[in-house]
Amino acid sequence: MALSGLQIQKLLPKTNCKECGSSTCMAFAMKLAAKKASLDECPYASDEARQVLGAASEPPVKGVKIGVERVSSLGEETVFYRHEKTFVNQTVLAVNLGDDDDLALADRIRDYTLVRVGETLTLGAVAVTQTGSAEAFVAFCKAVYDRARLPLVLRGRDADALALASAAVAGSRSVISGVTADNADALRAVAVRDGHVLAVTADDLDGLCALTAKLKADGFNDLLVAFSTHSLAEEFQTNAIARKAALSGGVKALGYASLRFIDTGDGMTDMVEATTEIAKYGGLVVLPSFDPAQLAPLMTLRQNIYTDPQKPIQVEPKLYAIGEPDKSSPLFVTTNFSLTYFLVSGEIENSGISAWLLVPECEGMSVLTSWAAGKFSGATIGKFAQDIGLESLVDTRTIVIPGYVAQISGELEESLPGFKVLVGPGEAADLESFIKSVLVNHA
What CA–CA distances, in Å, run from 246 to 60, 281, 382, 393?
A: 6, 12, 51, 55
Check if the beta carbon of residue 209 is closer than 8 Å to that of residue 188.
no
| DSSP 3-state of 255 | coil
pLDDT at 209 over 70: yes
Q: What is the mean pLDDT of residues 424-436?
A: 90
Helix (H) or strand (E) holding 340: helix 338-350
Dump the DSSP string for 262-303.
---S-HHHHHHHHHHHHHTT-SEEEESS--HHHHHHHHHHHH
**pLDDT tens digits, residue range 191-205?**
999 999 999 999 999
pLDDT at 33 over 90: no
pLDDT at 367 over 90: yes
Angle in degrees, 0-180, between the axes of helices 184-194 and 159-168, rounded to the nearest 10? 0
Check if the beta carbon of residue 187 is closer than 8 Å to that of residue 198.
yes
pTM confidence score = 0.79
What's the confidence (pLDDT) of residue 35?
Answer: 66
pLDDT at 356 over 50: yes
* Calpha distance 256→436 (Å, rounded): 55
Under the banding of pLDDT at 50, 70 and 90, the label for residue 37 is confident
What CATH number was assigned to the domain covering residues 318-442?
3.40.50.11600
What's the confidence (pLDDT) of residue 2?
Answer: 59
Fold (topology level) of 5-57:
3-methyladenine DNA Glycosylase II; Chain A, domain 3 (1.10.15)
What's the confidence (pLDDT) of residue 7?
Answer: 83
* Calpha distance 345→322 (Å, rounded): 7
Per-domain residue ranges of the chain: 5-57, 64-305, 318-442
**pLDDT tens digits, residue range 77-127?**
988 988 887 888 999 999 999 999 999 999 999 999 998 887 899 999 999
* Calpha distance 356→345 (Å, rounded): 9
Mean pLDDT of all residues belonging to the chain: 92
Please list the alpha-helical segments (H only) found in 133-266.
134-148, 159-168, 184-194, 205-217, 232-247
Helix (H) or strand (E) holding 382: helix 378-387
Report which DSSP code applies to 62. Answer: B
Report which DSSP code applies to 311. Answer: S
Q: What is the mean pLDDT of residues 218-232?
A: 95
What's the confidence (pLDDT) of residue 250?
Answer: 84
pLDDT at 30 over 90: no
What's the confidence (pLDDT) of residue 309?
Answer: 78
Least confident stretch, 68-82, 130-144, 238-252, 427-441: 427-441
Under the banding of pLDDT at 50, 70 and 90, the label for residue 14 is confident
Q: What is the mean pLDDT of residues 431-435?
A: 89
Check if the beta carbon of residue 275 is closer than 8 Å to that of residue 252.
no
Q: What percentage of the chain carries pLDDT values higher than 70?
A: 97
Tell which residue, 372, 368, 320, has the closest CA to residue 341.
320
pLDDT at 311 over 60: yes
What CATH number was assigned to the domain covering residues 64-305?
3.20.20.20
Residue with the bigger pLDDT between 442 and 345: it is 345
What CA–CA distances, in Å, run from 252 to 56, 145, 181, 196?
A: 12, 33, 18, 21
Give the CA dihedral 380, 386, 392, 396, nearest 10 degrees. Answer: 30
Residue type, 429: A
Under the banding of pLDDT at 50, 70 and 90, the label for residue 56 is low
pLDDT at 1 over 50: no
